[in-house]
C-alpha cells in the first residue's frame, strides 16, 4: 500500500474546506483505498491529509489523469504545500485499514534516520514502540511507512486526544531510552491532527 501525506498552510479556510469535500470524486478511482485528514492541534492554520492507494502504479495513473481537475477546487486557498509518499512496511497493532470514522485524532511522526541506524530503528519500531502503542487504551490502528532517503512515517489513530495524551505522558520517555531513539534519529517532525469527518473519503 502507498501512503501519501500532504501538509499545507491554509489561507482561506472556508474555501479550502469546500474544496476538500470535492475529493469525494476519488471514490471509484482504480486502486484508491481511502483518504482523511484535519487540522493541526498545535497550529490551527495547518491542514494534513492522508491518502492511501493499493499500488504506486494506480496512484501514478490517477495523478496523470484526474488529480488536477479535483485539486483545482482548492486553488488559491493554501500555501507551502508539501506532499510525501511512503510505502507501507508494517501495521501498528493489526490489520491496518484506511478508515477514519472511529478515530478523533491522528498522530503523525516523520523521522529522518541515520543511514547506519536504519535497521536498528526499524527493529525498535517493531519490538518496542509497536507493542507499547498497540497496548495503549484508545489507540485504534496505525502503520509504519518508509520513503527513499532513510525517511519513515509513523501514523497512529486514536479515539481521542486525551487518550493519546495519556500514552505520551506515561510512556514516551521510558520507551525512547529503551529503543535508543536519539541515536537513531537525525531529525524528527510530528503533529497531532484533529480529524474533520467531512474530509473522509
Query: Any idea where the domains of the chain sit in the sequence?
Result: 2-199
Query: Which tens digit of pLDDT belongs to each residue from 118-144?
Result: 999 999 999 999 999 999 999 999 999
179 in Cβ contact with 122 (< 8 Å):
no
Report the C-alpha gap between 123 and 95 in whole angstroms.
19
- Residue whose C-alpha cell reads 490502528 in the numeric block: 141
Report the C-alpha gap between 42 and 45 in whole angstroms.
9
Residue 95 has a pLDDT of 86
Q: What share of the chain is helix, strand, coil (3-state, %, to 5)?
A: 40, 40, 20
Give the CATH number of domain 2-199; options: 2.40.50.140, 3.40.50.10170, 3.40.50.1700, 3.30.70.100: 3.30.70.100
Residue 170 has a pLDDT of 76
Q: Give yes or no for residue 168 having a pLDDT over 90.
A: no
Give the cell for residue 41.
492541534
Give the cell for residue 58.
494506480
Helix segments in 52-189, DSSP class H: 56-65, 67-71, 118-124, 130-134, 161-179, 181-184
Is residue 189 very low, low, confident or very high in pLDDT (cuts 50, 70, 90)? very high
Average pLDDT over residues 43-70: 97
**45 secondary structure, DSSP code:** T
Report the C-alpha gap between 120 and 123 in whole angstroms.
5
**114 secondary structure, DSSP code:** -
Query: Which tens digit of pLDDT belongs to each residue from 142-154?
Result: 999 999 999 999 9
Report the C-alpha gap between 192 and 44 in whole angstroms.
11
Q: Is 85 helix (H, G, I), strand (E, B) or coil?
A: strand
Is residue 173 very low, low, confident or very high in pLDDT (cuts 50, 70, 90)? confident
Report the C-alpha gap between 87 and 56 in whole angstroms.
9
Amino acid at each position: 500500500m502507498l501512503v501519501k501525506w500532504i501538509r499545507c498552510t491554509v489561507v482561506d479556510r472556508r474555501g479550502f474546506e469546500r474544496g476538500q469535500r470535492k475529493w469525494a470524486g476519488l471514490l471509484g478511482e482504480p486502486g484508491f483505498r481511502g483518504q482523511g485528514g484535519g487540522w493541526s492541534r498545535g497550529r490551527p492554520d495547518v491542514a494534513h491529509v492522508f491518502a492511501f492507494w493499493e499500488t504506486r502504479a494506480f496512484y501514478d495513473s490517477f495523478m496523470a489523469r484526474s488529480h488536477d481537475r479535483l485539486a483545482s477546487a482548492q486553488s488559491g486557498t493554501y500555501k507551502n504545500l508539501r506532499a510525501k509518499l511512503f510505502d507501507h512496511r508494517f501495521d501498528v497493532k493489526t490489520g491496518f485499514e484506511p478508515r477514519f470514522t472511529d478515530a478523533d485524532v491522528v498522530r503523525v511522526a516523520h523521522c529522518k534516520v541515520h543511514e547506519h541506524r536504519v535497521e536498528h530503528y526499524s527493529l525498535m519500531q517493531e519490538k518496542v514502540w509497536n507493542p507499547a502503542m498497540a497496548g495503549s487504551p484508545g489507540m485504534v490502528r496505525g502503520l509504519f511507512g518508509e520513503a527513499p532517503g532513510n525517511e519513515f512515517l509513523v501514523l497512529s489513530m486514536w479515539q481521542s486526544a486525551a487518550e493519546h495524551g495519556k500514552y505520551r505522558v506515561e510512556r514516551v520517555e521510558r520507551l525512547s531510552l529503551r529503543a535508543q531513539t536519539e541515536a537513531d534519529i537525525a531529525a524528527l517532525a510530528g503533529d497531532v491532527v484533529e480529524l474533520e469527518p467531512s474530509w473522509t473519503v
